[in-house]
Amino acid sequence: MHSTGMRRRVGAVATVSAVAAMSLAACSPSGEGAETVVRIANPITDFWGDPLQEAAAVYEEQNDGIRIEIDSVPYDSYEEVLQTQLVGETAADILFLEPPAVANFSGRDFLLALDDELSPTTEWGETFVSGMLDATRSPDGRQYVVPWSSVAVLIAYRQSEFSAVGSNEAPVTFSEWIDVMNRLESEPAPLNVSLRGDDASLFWILTNKLEATLRPLTEDINLLHADDWAYDPDDLASTLGETYTTDELYVAFETGLIDPAQSPGYRAAVEQVVQLSPFINEDSATVQPADVAQRFGAGEIPQLIGVGGTIAEVGAEAADSEDIATFNLPTITQDDFPGLAAGGENPLAGPRNGFAVNAASEVQAEALDFLRFLTQPDTVSDMYRVQVQGDPSAVDGVAYPDDSVLQETDGQEFAQISPYGFGAPPTFDTQDTDEFHAQWQSLLTGNSSVDEFLEDRSASNRAALERNLVLEEDSIDQSFIDEQLGQ
């Protein structure tokens, strides 16, 4: 994603263009004067309420006899609410879902499989960003979701402050970023963060680097796999249906592949992130994430790590918003870690959400037609003009407005199986996560060394994996573990 200026939103809601309004196939009413209603369940009304309403209005205008109703579902309980509705056969025809809900509902046959409609070789399938369909396919290999957007984690910065120290281009590599911060004034701290457990800004960076440094070991870790499986880091489909099981992770840990105390890649990732320590704020252990965002919006600090949605909101309210630009998290390279033989870091942009069709819907054809219309580049481009958004679209060829933090769609570049999960800390259960936050805070505030951190992480990871072996006893292949560890 290239650096881009961000201007303050000017209030009025835009109208989706007439060009974008042309559906691929018009729906026909069931009889003279009849009206077909297609209902959409939307739990994210703050961001996508107005854009969806605008798109629905244009679609209705172009498709006589069709009415699109958008039902607001509380985000905090939307999966539970939708599950109740699906069981009771009262759910909407189209469901706006995040990946865990897709996995839950597809596994219970609540969702319509869209393999034929969304084959990468179909006209509709070709609409999406390369690799996005693969990234949203379920472990059973089927396509239940129409991708909509991705999670973008970015660094927002004030161009004038970077230019004042001789940096006229956004940094790309980690060493370039460190060089800029060495030249920025020390007060306020060049990089304000929260090291509390509820703020992920720095462990996003760590996990991203860990996944890159561990990627060359994919075939050594994924020992329990489908017949004839082969891994290709440049083929995003090569990891479809493959996951790291507890059996595999335990073996990989005990053989040193992912043990923080033994893995060269793990150490390289940690040592790189620790280079940020001299630049972070003194109150990092106590400050709230919202306070950090407020400081950036008020112009008190020169940069902010955050999800695109947060940055978009902060930028829209900042008085000097035209001075604000963004860049991707700087990557680890082979110069930093020679063992990085399977590509660099993936941009931290995984599937955010998508639309699925209720398998029990009586208007599936109309629902699919509306989704085809909704995922055309012109339609999406106009929807991004309705309200400032920070999530990159899953649709290819979208033109983001001038006041967007986005200019290009960055997505997964290398195929990988994550040991930890997208955007998660490098942990294996809740207790491990709690211990990680304490150890991470101690490391970055200078109260422990890299060696101490790695030893503590090793002990916590091992204990968590052993707990998981007990919890998952019925599905653990003990003979595989014994064979691999020579027992």
Decide: 301 and 188 in contact? Cβ < 8 Å: yes
Q: What is the pLDDT of residues 255-308, one digit of tens each?
A: 999 999 999 999 999 999 999 999 999 999 899 999 999 999 999 999 999 888
48 token code pair: 């996508």
Cα within 13 Å of Cα(363), Cβ side: 24
pLDDT recorded at residue 110:
96
Q: What is the pLDDT along the chain (487 residues), one digit of tens a residue?
A: 444 444 333 333 344 443 334 343 334 444 455 799 999 999 998 889 999 999 999 999 999 999 999 999 999 899 999 999 999 999 999 999 998 899 899 989 999 999 999 988 899 999 998 878 888 888 788 999 999 998 888 899 999 999 999 999 889 889 999 999 999 976 779 999 999 877 788 899 999 999 999 999 999 999 999 999 999 999 888 887 788 999 999 999 999 999 999 999 999 999 999 999 999 999 998 999 999 999 999 999 999 998 888 888 888 888 888 899 888 888 888 888 998 888 888 887 778 899 999 999 999 999 999 999 999 999 999 999 998 888 889 999 999 988 788 766 566 788 889 899 877 899 999 999 999 999 999 999 999 999 999 999 999 999 999 999 999 999 999 999 999 999 8
> How many distinct helices (H) and strands (E) make up the chain?
17, 8
395 token code pair: 């649709």
In the chain the domains, ranked by start, together with CATH numbers, are 36-150+351-386 (3.40.190.10), 153-348+410-487 (3.40.190.10)
Cα within 13 Å of Cα(403), Cβ side: 20
pLDDT recorded at residue 408:
62
Decide: 153 and 329 in contact? Cβ < 8 Å: yes
Give CA–CA dist 239/415, Å, rounded: 6
pLDDT recorded at residue 405:
80
By CB atoms closer than 10 A (0-12, 13-18, 19+), residue 432 is buried
Per-residue DSSP letters for 405-434?
Answer: S-SS-----S----SS-TT--S-SSHHHHH
pLDDT recorded at residue 328:
87
Q: Say which DSSP state 7 is in.
A: P
User: What CA dihedral angle connects 184, 189, 190 and 196, to 10 degrees?
Assistant: 170
Q: Which residues contact 35 (CB under 8 A, 6 or more apart)?
A: 29, 65, 66, 67
175 token code pair: 């060493």
Label residue 425 left, alpha or beta by phi (over 0 means left) and psi (-120 to 50 means alpha). beta
Q: What is the pLDDT of residues 23-49, one digit of tens each?
A: 433 344 444 557 999 999 999 988 899
Q: Where are the alpha helices (DSSP H) in 138-195?
A: 159-164, 174-183
pTM: 0.80
pLDDT recorded at residue 241:
79
461 token code pair: 């990871």
Q: Which residues contact 429 (CB under 8 A, 6 or more apart)?
A: 464, 467, 468
Give CA–CA dist 267/278, Å, rounded: 19
